[in-house]
Amino acid sequence: VNADADPGAATAGASAGDAAARRSDQDDRSRRRTEDALRLSEERYRRFVAQSSEGIWRIELDAPAPVSLPPDAQIAHFYRHAYLAECNDAMARMYGYGAAGELVGARLGDLLPLSDPDNAAYLRAFIAAGYRLTDAESHEADRDGNPRSFLNNLVGVVEDGHLVRAWGTQRDVTERRRTELERQQFASLAESSGEFVGMCDTELRPFYVNSAGLRMVGLDDLEQARRTPVQAFFFPEDLPFLLERFFPRVQRDGRGEVEIRFRHFKTGAPLWVIYSIVALTDESGRPSGFGTVTRDITDRKRAEAERERLLEAERAARAEAEAANRAKDEFLSIAAHELLTPVTALKGQTQTLQRAVARQQVTPERLARVLVSLNASADRLAVLTRDLLDVARLRTGRLPLRPQTLDLAAFAGGVVDAYRERIGPDHTLSLAVEPEGGVSSLPAVRADPVRLEQVLTNLLENAVKYSPAGGPVRVRLSATGRRGASAGATGEPGTSGTPGALLLVEDEGIGLPPDSEETIFQPFGRAANAEQQAIRGMGLGLHICRQIAGAHGGRLWATSPGEGRGTTVSFWLPAAPDSPLAAGAAPEPAGDD
Amino acid sequence: VTTESRPPDGWGAGAGPPGGGPAAGVLVVEDDHAIREWLRDALTDEGYAVVAVETGRAALARLASWRPRLILLDLKMPDLDGWGFRAAQLADPAIATIPVVVMTAAAGAGGTRAEAIARLTPAALLRKPFDLDVLLDTVLRLLEGPPPD
């Protein structure tokens, strides 16, 4: 820079002769050039200072501050003696003035209120750093007393152990600070909310989730949330709706709300929420993501589900009651039909006989035949009435039972022997206790002997009745609920593992059509093949037997390999509570594995 | 099982073939043994020629070779029931015109049940139990006049 020319050299040659005069002219020109250069440089500097958007200032101390003083004493000294000696218009405007001239001369305390402890700290940092600060924030006040925040770069000038002045630049960060503060307040508001507050970008990557939200869905921290795409917060089956319909609609309308389930990240449990979201935009209005305030309504949903469950239970109970009523009506209707049939025969045959007697048309043979028929109809009415009474009592649980502890093998033997007297030559009847010779392995049972005989007789009658071509009827007895017990072949769940006695009645008769194993236990339920072959029966016997078995804590069921291939009816009774075998103390059969 | 009876020789007082002609044929279709026996006795006593069968299928078989003047039909039967029999009968022009008396013990035979029975277009309906007089009056009324064809 030309301004660096030595002005002293020009002055030294001023007293010489012509040459000196010539030199002197040269010197004058040189000095003027130097002065011009200086003036130009100073103007450039002033223009720069005036036009700078940063505040540029110089502070002088009217009494220099000894740097040896303790920091707080120095600060007190600053406040007594420091004043603004120079600044630009930009700085004046930062304090609410129109031009630099209005601000110059202000004391330090006018700008940097001593009341703000941050300012003392700011000055202490200035001293501690050797009278030099970079990007330090000061909290000052404008001409109306409004707080302003500035970011400062400043340096002090120390001469002879005293701080004489400082100069620096400053930038107004008041707006930025206010925005930051507002943001902090919003953040603390979001943090203190009990609801899930979250934001994500347009790619559905979360960048903020409050702590209540993290807790709600079982995320450990914000870092984990940021690594978890929004899709993972939901159940997969809800994603097509969310991605294809809900988010596009929010993007279009700016907001949206839906009741949906979050999935807890740790337990996988569903959380019912009201998922309320808004589309976020950046300063230029472009979509920048989504924000949500989501409320957990799991409790409400649970209450709703509970209410729904109760309603459903009530509906089911009502339907069941109606079905029971219909079944009762149906039962009554069939029962009446069954009762009217023998009554029709009784009345008709009686009236016909009376008419024939009046006409003297009756032969002894005819009389005998009709009387047999009348007696059979009366028997049928009696049996039917007894069965209907049994059904009614069993239904209402009013069938009186007088249980005794019985040896089932001996009891069944007695019933079989008695029944053998009543069957024709086409059938054979046998009884076996399994395993071979294992009579003592059968547990005692508790049963009402009258009802037990009723069941066993009915099963034997059925076996004979439904094997019209004759054949063997086998009664087999075995123990259940112990290792080596032979139950399970006919597989009714819940019996083979329980101590008890199983009685099977097997025939080689007409068998059961597929799916009629249960039908035959319904009131008036009969297998189709029995009807087709015109085998008499009202369909009450097995129903009654099953009810009696149930009343004893036992079970009754039927199996058949198919039509024409025989039927096995299984009757299981639990071991008597005082039976030693019930307690599992029985000796194991030999060869047991 | 099919049982047939012919009017016995030597009618009792007041008995004889109605109308004085050859004994009119009556087919009884009833699965209950006692009722079947009663109807056969009662109608035979009155001079009708009675055939009694247990099922609708047996009735159709019998009708292939014999044309009665009247059919007494039970509804609830194994094999082919009264409904099935009536449908088959109406589908066969050779026997479709034989009048049918339906006998039923359906309790409270009202509502849909009664409508269903009406669709069978019976010549008469006898609700079990019914008296002998009612039976005989019904049969006599339906057989009055000359036989069809």
User: Nearest by CB to A341, which of B14, B128, B133?
Assistant: B128
pLDDT band per the 50, 70, 90 thresholds, residue B107: low
Residue A361 pLDDT exceeds 90: no
Q: Is the CB of B53 inside 8 Å of chain A's CB atoms?
A: no
Which pLDDT tens digit goes with each residue over B53-68? Answer: 999 999 999 999 999 9
User: Nearest by CB to A534, which of B38, B42, B78?
Assistant: B78
CA distance A317 to chain B (A): 28
SS (H, E, C) A105-135: CCEHHHHCCCCCHHHHHHHHHHHHCCCEEEE
Which pLDDT tens digit goes with each residue over A496-552? Answer: 578 889 999 999 999 999 888 888 998 888 888 887 777 877 888 999 999 999 999
Q: Residue A483 has what pLDDT?
A: 47
Q: Is the CB of B55 inside 8 Å of chain A's CB atoms?
A: yes
Which pLDDT tens digit goes with each residue over A424-461? Answer: 899 999 999 887 555 567 889 999 999 999 999 999 99
CA distance A428 to chain B (A): 27
Cβ–Cβ under 8 Å, residues B82 and B56: yes
Q: Which residues of A touch B32 (CB under 8 A)?
A: 341, 344-345
Kindly give the pairing relationship between strand A162-172 and strand A147-159.
antiparallel
- The H or E element containing residue A556 is strand A555-559
Q: Which residues of A touch B112 (CB under 8 A)?
A: none
* CB-CB under 8 Å, B38 with A345: yes
Mutation to test the B interface, candidates A338, A354, A361, most B Cβ within 10 Å: A361
* CB-CB under 8 Å, A340 with B129: yes
The Cα A167–Cα A172 span in angstroms is 17
* CB-CB under 8 Å, A360 with B35: no
| Alpha-helix residue ranges (DSSP H) falling in B23-131 | 33-45, 56-63, 82-91, 111-118
Residue B84 pLDDT exceeds 80: yes
User: Nearest by CB to A352, which of B32, B42, B107?
Assistant: B42
End-to-end CA gap in chain B: 29
Which chain B residue has the Cα nearest residue A374?
B34
Mean pLDDT value of segment A37-59: 87
Residue B146 pLDDT exceeds 80: no
Cβ–Cβ under 8 Å, residues B48 and B139: yes
Q: Residue A2 has what pLDDT?
A: 47
User: Nearest by CB to A355, which of B34, B39, B45?
Assistant: B45
Own/partner long-range contacts of A20-28 (Cβ < 8 Å, ≥24 apart): none
* CB-CB under 8 Å, A348 with B42: yes
Q: Residue A486 has what pLDDT?
A: 46
Cβ–Cβ under 8 Å, residues A525 and A576: no
Mean pLDDT value of segment A341-370: 94
Residue A493 pLDDT exceeds 80: no
* CB-CB under 8 Å, B131 with A351: yes
Residue A260 pLDDT exceeds 60: yes
Mean pLDDT value of segment B73-88: 90
CA distance B43 to chain A (A): 9
Which pLDDT tens digit goes with each residue over A279-296? Answer: 998 888 888 899 999 999
* Pick from A272-286, A423-437, B131-145: least confident: A423-437
Question: Residues in chain A whose beta carbon is closer than 8 A to a beta carbon of chain B?
Answer: 332-333, 336-337, 340-349, 351-352, 355-356, 359-361, 366, 369-370, 373, 376-377, 531-534
DSSP letter for each residue of A284-313: TS-EEEEEEEEEE-HHHHHHHHHHHHHHHH
Mean pLDDT value of segment A162-179: 92
* Pick from A154-158, A179-183, A535-539: least confident: A535-539
pLDDT band per the 50, 70, 90 thresholds, residue B12: very low
Q: Is the CB of B37 inside 8 Å of chain A's CB atoms?
A: yes
Q: Residue A13 has what pLDDT?
A: 46
Residue A586 pLDDT exceeds 60: no
The Cα B29–Cα B75 span in angstroms is 9
pLDDT band per the 50, 70, 90 thresholds, residue A46: confident
Mean pLDDT value of segment A345-374: 94
pLDDT higher at A349 or A16? A349
As a whole number, the mean pLDDT across chain B is 83
CA distance A465 to chain B (A): 17
User: Nearest by CB to A333, which of B37, B107, B128?
Assistant: B107
Q: Residue A391 has what pLDDT?
A: 87
Bridge partner list, A575: A445
- The H or E element containing residue A188 is helix A174-192
Q: Which residues of A touch B41 (CB under 8 A)?
A: 349, 352, 356, 366, 370
Nearest to A133 by CA among A146, A117, A119, A143: A119
Which chain B residue has the Cα nearest residue A373?
B34
Mutation to test the A interface, candidates B1, B30, B35, B75, most A Cβ within 10 Å: B35
Rounded to two decimals, what is the model's pTM? Answer: 0.53
User: Nearest by CB to B54, which of A333, A349, A534?
Assistant: A534
Mean pLDDT value of segment A29-47: 86
Which chain A residue has the Cα nearest residue B74?
A341
Q: What is the ipTM of this complex?
A: 0.84
Sign of CA dihedral A265, A267, A270, A276: negative
* CB-CB under 8 Å, A356 with B78: no
User: Nearest by CB to A340, which of B12, B37, B128?
Assistant: B128
DSSP, res A373: H
